[in-house]
A = this chain, B = another copy of it.
Amino acid sequence: MNKNDRVGLEGVFIEKDLPLLIRREGIADWCDGVVRILDRRALPHDERHIDCESVEDVARCIENMVIQGAFSLSVAAGYGLALAVSDKAESDCRTQLTIASERLKKTRPTGLAISRMMVACLAAAEHALAEGNSPRDAILATVERGAVALSRQAYEVGRIACEILPDDATILTHCFPDRPYAYMLVEARRIGKPLKVIVSETRPYLQGARLTSLCAMQTGFDVHVITDGMGGFLMRRGEIDAFVTAADRVCMDGTVCNKIGTYQHALAAKTNGLPYYVLRQSGPDIESAGESSVEVEFRDGEEIVNVGGTRIAPSDVKGLYPAFDITPPDLVSKIITDRGAFPASEIASYVDATPFITDAVV
């Protein structure tokens, strides 16, 4: 059987029927000691990959936005960690693993996907070393199990979100909300629920225009791109029924940290009586009580004043680039997780809810 024909997610979907960006293969793969990463910066026009031969190569790919999203980042970082050790059980590799995991975690200080994968992989490597087994093999096996679990969780989130959305809904999305969103669309397609998709382009990296639109198009829905300043107006005109995003982090009080531009849309949704659904498969971060515990990453302002290699502002003018923003819980209707949909103010109860996957590694 060709790997593209294989049936994933307990027989619900066939790999090749899924949009490119939520397939298992082709995003971040382990290829005989090399981590091969799909370069999303070249999408939607080119499908090209970058081969990483070291931890530093992988770290730079993550920092340079070659790859994005909780699933893809954790898989790439997990494979990156495997590059730090050989397949032999050498006790001095603990230092390399520590250094490598710190380097990889530092690439994205705001989200938690990478650090969760690091914790799982380090534990597996430690266990292997104690048993005299290959730490690299243990890490690779952890990444595989983690990837399967993350996909199943993502589909569950997408399934619940699809159930919640009204028929014929027009959905506005900001940035690329990754697998849960894509599964929401493929599930809607599978059960014959018609949706219309509007994506805000998401400056400066244009993930909405390039990635979300590609994903939505590949599920066969009608899709339109708008700029990041248009959503509120379309909501006021009654042309949008729901705002749906992912979250880079959810705090225990329901505060949502997501790609810059989310807050303005969430505010407009609330003001215009529309629901805002946050897709967050792994629930809240138990170490983040609320807004004050989130450090928002500021990136280089040059990334704002240059578009496609061309400077858009006068040469003496600087850019200012907060990469994420904060949406307070009162603007969030539901946070949809693998353990169900929670009102934002009750998201802390996720922690004690029944796990969707009881043996998940990440």
**Are A229 and B203 within 8 A (Cβ)?**
yes
Pick the residue among B227, B231, B232, B304 that contacts A304 (CB under 8 A). Answer: B227
**Are A217 and B320 within 8 A (Cβ)?**
no
- Contact bitstring A256-276, B, C-beta under 8 A = 1, else 0: 000011111101100100000
Q: Which of A74-82, A90-98, A205-213, A340-348 is the interface stretch?
A: A205-213
**Are B325 and A225 within 8 A (Cβ)?**
no
Contact of A119 with B by CB under 8 A = no
Alpha-carbon distance between A226 and B322 when the two chains are bound, in angstroms: 9
Contact of A39 with B by CB under 8 A = no
Copies in the complex: 2
**Are A317 and B213 within 8 A (Cβ)?**
yes
Pick the residue among B236, B305, B318, B322 that contacts A234 (CB under 8 A). Answer: B322
**Are B326 and A236 within 8 A (Cβ)?**
yes
**Are A314 and B198 within 8 A (Cβ)?**
no
Contact of A224 with B by CB under 8 A = yes
Hey, which chain B residues are within 8 Å of A44, CB to CB?
313-314
**Are B260 and A209 within 8 A (Cβ)?**
no
- A190 → B minimal CB distance (Å): 21
* Max count, chain B CB within 10 A of own CB: residue among A198, A229, A314: A229
- A289 → B minimal CB distance (Å): 18
**Are B225 and A313 within 8 A (Cβ)?**
yes
Hey, which chain B residues are within 8 Å of A296, CB to CB?
233
**Are B229 and A313 within 8 A (Cβ)?**
no
**Contacts known (A210-B312, A232-B263); A225 close to B317, Cβ less than 8 A:** yes
Contact of A230 with B by CB under 8 A = yes
Pick the residue among B226, B267, B317 that contacts A268 (CB under 8 A). Answer: B267
Hey, which chain B residues are within 8 Å of A325, CB to CB?
229-230, 232-233, 236
| Chain A positions 299-338 with a Cβ under 8 Å from a chain B Cβ | 301, 304-305, 307-308, 310-314, 316-322, 325-326
Pick the residue among B236, B310, B318, B326 that contacts A225 (CB under 8 A). Answer: B318
Alpha-carbon distance between A322 and B320 when the two chains are bound, in angstroms: 26
| Chain A positions 110-165 with a Cβ under 8 Å from a chain B Cβ | none
Specify the chain B residue showing the minimal Cβ separation from A215. Answer: B314
**Contacts known (A213-B317, A236-B326, A317-B217); A206 close to B312, Cβ less than 8 A:** yes
Specify the chain B residue showing the minimal Cβ separation from A232. Answer: B264
Hey, which chain B residues are within 8 Å of A260, CB to CB?
227, 229-230, 233
Contact of A45 with B by CB under 8 A = yes
* Max count, chain B CB within 10 A of own CB: residue among A234, A263, A316: A263
Hey, which chain B residues are within 8 Å of A206, CB to CB?
312
**Are A204 and B223 within 8 A (Cβ)?**
no
**Contacts known (A224-B301, A229-B228); A267 close to B261, Cβ less than 8 A:** no
* Max count, chain B CB within 10 A of own CB: residue among A174, A202, A210, A233: A233
**Are B271 and A267 within 8 A (Cβ)?**
yes
Pick the residue among B214, B267, B310 that contacts A267 (CB under 8 A). Answer: B267
Contact of A187 with B by CB under 8 A = no
A-B pairs with the 10 shortest C-beta distances? A229-B261, A233-B325, A228-B229, A203-B227, A232-B264, A44-B314, A224-B320, A209-B312, A213-B317, A264-B264
